[in-house]
Structures are given as C-alpha cells and as structure tokens.
Structure 1
Amino acid sequence: MLAQRTTLFGSSGTAAARAAAKAAADAGKEIIDLTAGEIWSDLAPTIRDGAIDAINKGVNRYTDTVGMAELRDALARKVSVETSQIWTADEIAVTTGAKQALFNTAMVLLNPGDEVIVPAPYWTTFPAQVLIAGAKPVFVDTRGNGFVPRLEDLKSAITGKTRAIIVNTPGNPTGVVYDRATLAGIAALAIEHDFWVIFDECYGAFTHSTHIHHSIVTVAPEVRSRTLIINVFSKTLALTGWRIGYLAGPRDFISTVKALQSHTTSNPNVIAQHTVLAHLERGDGSYENQLRAQLASARQQGLKILSSLERVPVPRAQGGFYFYLDLSDLLRPTILNGATRNADDVVHTLLSRAGVAGVSGTAFGDPLGLRLSYGIPLDRLKAGLGQLVETLNAWE
C-alpha cells in the first residue's frame, strides 16, 4: 500500500511526451522531437572552463545547504540588477533546479486546505506540487484572453482560503508575456487579499519582438515582502542536465527553506555551483546573446512555416521557446459530431504519421492545445514543422 498522496499526481506530462518520442525512435522510426524544454547548444566557454577548474582544484565537499556564500552573493547582485532593488545573500537559496525551488516553496508556504490560484494552461508541475503539499489548485482559464489572465477572473477565484497565486511569465507552455498592467493588478490583489505571489521567471531571458519581461517586484515594489522569485540556469545557459536554480524571497522564508533543504537534498551539486559562479564572474553576455539570436531565428522561420496552417492560427510565441498551437478550429468538427477527439489524438497522429513529437495540451490542463519546442537544431525544426503542417492540413 502506497501513501495516499501518490494518488494525487502522475508522471509529468512533458516527461511522458519525451518518453513516447524516445520509444518510437528506439523502435526504428525516424522522429523529430519537439517535446523537450531545452535548447540544443554547446556549453558556454565560461561554463566549461569553470567546471574543469573546479575539478582540477579537487572541489568535492559539502557547501552551505542553500549554496556557497560567494554564489549567493553573486546571485543577490544579479537579482538586484534585474529588479532595481537591493537583495542580499540571506534572501537567496540555491536549489537543484527550479523544480526544487518550487517544491521548497510549496512545502514551506502551504497548509492542507489552502488554495493556490493557477492560470491555465499551466506547466504540469505547478498543480502537482500544490497537491503534494495538501493544498488545492484553483484554475483560472486564460484561453479567452490570449492566455493572459483577466484580473476580474482572478478576483473571482479568490476566497478566504487563497494562500498564493502562481505567475509564470514568459509562460510555459503558452509563451505569453504578462504586461506591466497585469502584473500591477496581480500585485494589488495579493496585497488587498493577503496572499503570496510565486513568480516563476525561468524563461525571462527570452522575449521576442516588442515584448519585454518585467519582474513583478519592479512593477510593484510594495509586493516584494510577499513575493517568491523562482529562476534557473537551465534555460538561459542551456544547462538543463546540470540542475541548478535559485529562489529569492524574504529572509525568514529563505531560512525556513534552508531547514527543509537540509533534510532533502542538502546542498546542490558543488561542481555546478562553482561553474555558475565562474560564469557570473567572467561572463560577458555574449553566450546569452548567441542563444537569443539562435532562438529568434528559429522562431521567425518556424512562424513562417506555421503560417501555412489552414485551420490553426499562427501562435503568438511572445517569449520562451515554444510554439503553442490552438487546435480549437481543427477539432471543432469532431466535437460537433459527438466525437471525443482532443489534442492527445493530434499528438498520436503526428507521431505515427509524420514522425513529429509534440506535447499535448492535456498535460497543461488544455485539451485543445499543442506545445512545440523550437530549441532544437534549425534544420530539424524546419523539417518537423513542415511535416506537421502537411499532416494537420490533411486532418479529417
């Protein structure tokens, strides 16, 4: 008999999509995998050299539970620049990726019976971790407003049990970037109704066209005392496998996170810590600019191909590196005829007929959506999207 909490969640939908793509490839089928939330890129020279230096110096001991003091100092300076406010090392916890930062937040912040507002579509891990903590995710549909939550809808979702809201901008899976007015409105609601803001900005380094990423504590400094900032180097430095992220928040909160982390993972990987510190100290921004240029080119060419879709609107793709397709018009005839086909069926068809793997919106609480990553090599992306367009235009 397993613990009852295990009935509250399943495996990550994005992980399941990756597994399906790998299984098809292992069976001998040529697959273009557009499922992964990562950028295909060589290591930054500062990352490579920092890791080698750490190994050559024999770095292999425990650090402080929430990261080396030098790294937390560097991260505090980074967050200070990004938010236009002063942060110190005791307001920073280094974690094993963003997932641990979010898990720590859920376990420290939430009590059984609490409610957390989660705009939908959502990254699959958000509601799962809320449930693990014994709280209840309260979903607010954003499809009717370009995937940005309406403030009146958020206000309607607030109850006396509301403990927090999760704000993810740029959004995964939608790629939407919240504007300043929306962020200011969310901050005002949090203050008025006395709840926390869990601010996930893991894709904040990647915005496109005229869109700009804003930190909520820059837009509304008065909300800082009830805001927890989640960020990671997995995306900005293409280091998904290195598992290094961080959490910024009030000192008392970070102190409690430290106590919790001391009983889970203890300190994050020490080589990864030294490596990121080396980059923060020596990096000149050229690698990040290279990644942004790579994604901008992939986005532009990908949107050009997707513009040939006949019954699927071209995605906005304002930030991050995902195309999120709205399949409503494509699936509407089957829905009107009483069929129950949804994005899962589209994903299955694409995998079996076109050799293209994507993530169904059902993983994100949206049975009419499809997430496609454009972080893969450009030639593979163009081939995959071309096959996808051909298959969806022939959909019956």
Structure 2
Amino acid sequence: MLAHRTALFKASGTAAARTAATAAIADGRQIIDLTAGEIWSELPPTVREGAIAAINRNLNRYTDTLGLMELRHAIACKLSAETAQPWSAEEIAVTSGAKQALFNAAMALVNPGDEVLVPAPYWTTFPAQIIIAGGTPVFIQTRHNGYVPRLTDLTAAITSKTKAIVVNTPNNPTGAIYPRDTLADISQLAIDRELWIIFDECYGAFTHAPHTHHPIVSVAPQARARTLIVNSFSKALALTGWRIGYLAGPKAAISAVKALQSHTTSNPNVIAQHAVLHHLQSGDTAFQLQLQRDVANARALGLSILSALTLVPQPAAQGGFYFYLDLTKLQRRTKLIGRGVNADDVVNGLLMDAGVATVSGTAFGDPAGVRLSYGIDLESLDKGLRRLTATLNMWN
C-alpha cells in the first residue's frame, strides 16, 4: 500500500499536456506543440565552453551540498547587482532547478496544518509542494484584477494558520507582472502579519515594455529577513534540461536548506555548475540579450495573429513567454447555444481539430483559461496560432 500523501496530488498538468502532444506526434499526426515551458534554442556558447572545460579537467566529484562556493559567490554578485543590496555566498543555495529550490522552501517553512496563500491561476507545482510539506494551499483568485492579487483579498484570506505568501512575477501561466505598489503592499502585509514570502522570479529576464520586473527585496528591503527568492538559469539561458537553480534568503534558512538537501539530492550536477559559473564569470550578455529579442519578436508575431480572435480577448503577455487565453466569453457563448465548454474541452478540441497542443487552465486551478507557449520557432508559432485562431473563431 502506498503512502497516503500520494493520493493528495497528481502529476504535473503541464507534463501531462506535453505527454498528450508527444503521443499525438507518435501516432503520426502533424502537431504544433505550444505546451512546453521552455525556449527552443541552442546552448549559450559560454555555457558550452564551461561544460567542456570541466569535462576536460575530469571534474567528477562531489561539491559542497549547496554548490560550489565560487558559483554561490557569483550568484550573490548577480543578486547584488539586480537588487541593489549586498548578498553573500552564505545566503545562496544552488539547487537542481527551481523546483528543488521551491521544495526546499516548502519543507523548511511549512509545518503540518500551516496555510500558504497562493494567487490563482498558479503554477501547478506550488500547491503540490505545499501539500507534500503537510500544509494547505489557500487560493486567491486574480482574474478580476488582471491576474494580480488584490491586497484586500490576501488580507481577508489570512488566518492564525497562515505561514507564507507565494509571489510569482512575471507569472506562470498568465504572464502578469506585479506592479511595484502591489509588491510593496504584499511586503508590508507579510511584515505586519509575520508571514514569509516565497518570491519566484524565474521569468524575470523576460519583461515586455512598458512593464518592468521588480525584485521584491528592492521594493521593500525591510521584508528581506522573511523572504526566500527562487530563481534558475533554465529560462534566462534556455537551460531547462541542465537543472540549475538557486534559493536566496536569510542565512538561518539557507543553513536549514543545506541540511535538507544533504538528505535529498546532495549537490547539483557538477558539470552544470561549472558551466554556469563560467558563464557568469565571462560577463558575456550577448546570448541572453539575443534570446530576449527573439522572445519579444515571437510575442509581437503572436499578438498580431491572436488579435483576430473574436470571443477571446487578446492576452496581455506582460512577461515570460506565454499567452494566457481567457475563455469566459467563449464559454458564455457556447453555453447559450447549448454546448458549454470548459478549458479541457477547448484543449482537446484544439489538439484534435487544429493539431495544436496547449495546456488547460485546469492544471493551474482555472477552468476558463488556456496557456500557449511562444518559446518556439517563428514558423511553427505562426502556423500554430493561425490554426488555433481559426478553430476558436468557428466555435462562436
């Protein structure tokens, strides 16, 4: 008999969408896959050079549990530049991707019975890891406010059991970027109510004018003592498969994470660590800047095509590399003509009728949304979104 906790959560909804797309392709169908949370790109030259050099040096031994001290120092320097505050290597834990950083945060902060506020729609891993830690996710609906939580809604949800607030900006799946004032209000709320902030900024490298990403500890330095920052190199450098992320926070929290990580994964992959270290030490930003331009071009193309949708508003796509479609008008229309649909129906229809794989909002706690990745090549994106637009418009 399996442990009871295995019944409390399901496999990732985004992973399930990728699996469905892969299965359709295996059946011989011509599918355009808009499910992946990654950018299709070649390796950054600096990362490749660092990895090859590490292999040639026969670097195959354990590092410190929290990663190479040189890498932790380099990440601290990066954070210092981004936040305009000094960071030290002792405040950094290198992890096997952002998921492990989030898992470490949940396990280090959440006691059984604790509640954690999670704005919805949410990345599917947030509530799953809270549940694994024995806590209860409390969802805060944001659709009515441009997918940004209202302070009044957050405040109303706080109880004596509330332990933390998850803040994910730029947001996955919606692409919303939290305004500076919102971050300041959340920070003050956390201070006043003695709550932790889990700040996920994995998509911070991709913001689209006039919107700006604000690190929360820059907005509210006084909240730093109760903030854990989660980030990775997966998105900014298109390195999803390399699994290198980091957690930054107070030394006491990082010390607890070290003890936890020593009994789970131990140190992250040593070659990936050296590769990212070489990239950070090189100071070469050419690859990342080109990647940002490529993403911006894909966004512009996608928004132009999606503007032809009739019952689905054009998504804001303020940051990251997702279009998040609001299906509420389409759902009202289909209900009136006697064939109401939810997000799962739409996703299945797009896969079958248009040959386009997308992710249902039900994976993110939202039965009225669909997520589309525009991190693919422009030709495929153009074809996929035109098929999608034509199919959705036929459902009027």
1:150-169 pair list within 5 angstroms = 150-169=150-169
Offset of 1:333 from its aligned partner?
2.8
Offset of 1:283 from its aligned partner?
3.4
Say if 2:332 and 2:340, in contact at 8 Å, map to a contact too.
Answer: no
Offset of 1:337 from its aligned partner?
6.2
Q: Distance in 2 between matches of 1:375 and 1:138?
A: 31
Q: Which residue of 2 aligns with 1:316?
A: 316
Q: What amino acid sits opposite 2:293 in the alignment?
A: A
Percent identity between the two aligned chains: 68
Task: Say whether 1:265 aligns with 2:279.
Answer: no
Q: Distance in 2 between matches of 1:167 and 1:339?
A: 37
Q: Which residue of 2 aligns with 1:350?
A: 350
Q: Distance in 2 between matches of 1:293 and 1:20?
A: 30
Residues 114 and 340 of structure 1: is their aligned pair in 2 closer, same or farther, counting only changes over 3 Å? farther
Say if 1:64 and 1:267, in contact at 8 Å, map to a contact too.
Answer: yes
Q: Which residue of 1 aligns with 2:10?
A: 10
Q: Distance in 1 between matches of 2:206 and 2:180?
A: 17
Q: Distance in 2 between matches of 1:337 and 1:302?
A: 29
Q: Which residue of 2 aligns with 1:66?
A: 66
TM, length-normalised to structure 2: 0.99
Secondary structure of the residue aligned to 1:331 is helix
Q: Deviations over 1:227-257 (max 9, x none)?
A: 0000000000000000000000000100010
Residues 174 and 252 of structure 1: is their aligned pair in 2 closer, same or farther, counting only changes over 3 Å? same
Q: Distance in 2 between matches of 1:386 and 1:334?
A: 21
Q: Deviations over 1:145-181 (max 9, x none)?
A: 0000111111101111110000000000000000100
Q: Distance in 2 between matches of 1:283 and 1:46?
A: 9
Say if 2:46 and 2:284, in contact at 8 Å, map to a contact too.
Answer: no
What do you get for the CA RMSD once the two structures are aligned? 0.9
Q: Which residue of 2 aligns with 1:102?
A: 102
Q: Distance in 2 between matches of 1:371 and 1:204?
A: 18
Q: Which residue of 2 aligns with 1:176?
A: 176
Secondary structure of the residue aligned to 1:236 is coil
Q: Which residue of 1 aligns with 2:50?
A: 50
Say if 1:46 and 1:283, in contact at 8 Å, map to a contact too.
Answer: no
Q: What amino acid sits opposite 1:47 in the alignment?
A: V
Q: Deviations over 1:274-327 (max 9, x none)?
A: 000000001321111000000000000100000000100000000000000001
Secondary structure of the residue aligned to 2:314 is coil
Say if 1:47 and 1:278, in contact at 8 Å, map to a contact too.
Answer: yes
1:342-381 pair list within 5 angstroms = 342-381=342-381
Say if 2:170 and 2:320, in contact at 8 Å, map to a contact too.
Answer: yes
Task: Say whether 1:127 aligns with 2:119.
Answer: no
Say if 1:299 and 1:374, in contact at 8 Å, map to a contact too.
Answer: yes
Offset of 1:331 from its aligned partner?
1.1
Secondary structure of the residue aligned to 1:172 is coil
Q: Which residue of 2 aligns with 1:86?
A: 86
Q: What amino acid sits opposite 1:229 in the alignment?
A: I
Say if 1:112 and 1:133, in contact at 8 Å, map to a contact too.
Answer: yes
Q: Distance in 2 between matches of 1:27 and 1:64?
A: 45
Q: Distance in 2 between matches of 1:2 and 1:337?
A: 45
Q: Distance in 2 between matches of 1:21 and 1:337?
A: 30
Offset of 1:185 from its aligned partner?
0.2
TM, length-normalised to structure 1: 0.99
Secondary structure of the residue aligned to 2:319 is coil
Offset of 1:394 from its aligned partner?
0.2
Deviates more, 1:326-335 or 1:148-157: 326-335
Q: Which residue of 2 aligns with 1:222?
A: 222
Say if 1:14 and 1:36, in contact at 8 Å, map to a contact too.
Answer: yes
Q: What amino acid sits opposite 1:175 in the alignment?
A: G
Offset of 1:341 from its aligned partner?
2.3
Q: What amino acid sits opposite 2:253 in the alignment?
A: F
Say if 2:361 and 2:368, in contact at 8 Å, map to a contact too.
Answer: yes
Q: Distance in 1 between matches of 2:374 and 2:341?
A: 26
Say if 2:354 and 2:387, in contact at 8 Å, map to a contact too.
Answer: yes
Q: Distance in 1 between matches of 2:353 and 2:185?
A: 45
Q: Which residue of 2 aligns with 1:113?
A: 113
Offset of 1:209 from its aligned partner?
1.6
Q: Distance in 1 between matches of 2:380 and 2:389?
A: 14
Offset of 1:338 from its aligned partner?
6.7
Structure 1: runs of 5+ lacking an equivalent: none
Q: What amino acid sits opposite 2:284 in the alignment?
A: D
Q: Distance in 2 between matches of 1:91 and 1:72?
A: 8
Q: Deviations over 1:101-146 (max 9, x none)?
A: 0001101110011000000000000000000111000000000000
Offset of 1:340 from its aligned partner?
5.4
Q: Distance in 2 between matches of 1:83 and 1:161?
A: 31
Q: What amino acid sits opposite 1:333 in the alignment?
A: R
1:7-46 pair list within 5 angstroms = 7-46=7-46
Say if 2:312 and 2:326, in contact at 8 Å, map to a contact too.
Answer: yes
1:193-342 pair list within 5 angstroms = 193-336=193-336, 341-342=341-342
Say if 2:119 and 2:140, in contact at 8 Å, map to a contact too.
Answer: yes
Task: Say whether 1:382 aligns with 2:374.
Answer: no
Structure 2: runs of 5+ lacking an equivalent: none
Q: What amino acid sits opposite 1:105 in the alignment?
A: A
Structure 1 stretches of at least 4 aligned residues deviating more than 6 Å after TM superposition: none
